[in-house]
């Protein structure tokens, strides 16, 4: 299976992915927990990106969004102006090829529920069926 070096944006303190990180930059951890208690079916969409862990896409989704370079990931963070986001290195497997859009305002849980893809992917985006966290 071909491996791809890639970079993932996560919320540094919790090691949750970027959607959770965007939400947490605007809301408290308690609000995040309360939201997941209200919508328990969403829990699987917020995996932890701990070192050496393999994270798999949720079936029926667009895959795990990463970036081709560290610089593209950093540019994404700057564009969001979201605090406590950081870039980690991952190895991606099973690269997804079909072009997709992203959820505009993904930091709002209700937008994730609606699954409306209304924004183009950020520059340098690459998607995988699974990733192994390197750092």
pLDDT (tens digit per residue) in 107-122: 556 555 555 556 677 8
Percent residues over pLDDT 70 in the chain: 84
Half-sphere exposure of 64 (CA within 13 A, CB side): 33
Is the pLDDT at 49 greater than 90? The verdict is: yes
72-to-4, 66, 90, 97 alpha-carbon distances in Å:
15, 9, 14, 18
pTM: 0.85
- Average pLDDT (75-89) is 90
Burial class (CB within 10 angstroms; exposed 0-12, middle 13-18, buried 19+) of 118: exposed
């Amino acid at each position: 299976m071909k491996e791809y070096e890639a970079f993932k944006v996560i919320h540094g303190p919790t090691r949750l992915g970027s959607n959770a990180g965007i939400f947490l930059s605007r809301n408290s951890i308690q609000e995040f927990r309360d939201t997941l208690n209200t919508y328990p079916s969403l829990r699987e969409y917020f995996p932890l990106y701990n070192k050496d862990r393999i994270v798999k896409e949720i079936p029926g989704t667009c895959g795990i969004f990463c970036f081709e370079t560290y610089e593209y990931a950093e540019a994404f963070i700057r564009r969001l102006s979201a605090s406590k986001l950081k870039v980690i290195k991952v190895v991606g497997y099973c690269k997804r090829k079909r072009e997709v859009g992203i959820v505009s305002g993904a930091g709002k849980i209700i937008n994730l529920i609606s699954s409306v893809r209304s924004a183009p992917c950020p520059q340098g985006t690459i998607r995988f069926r699974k990733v192994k966290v390197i750092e």
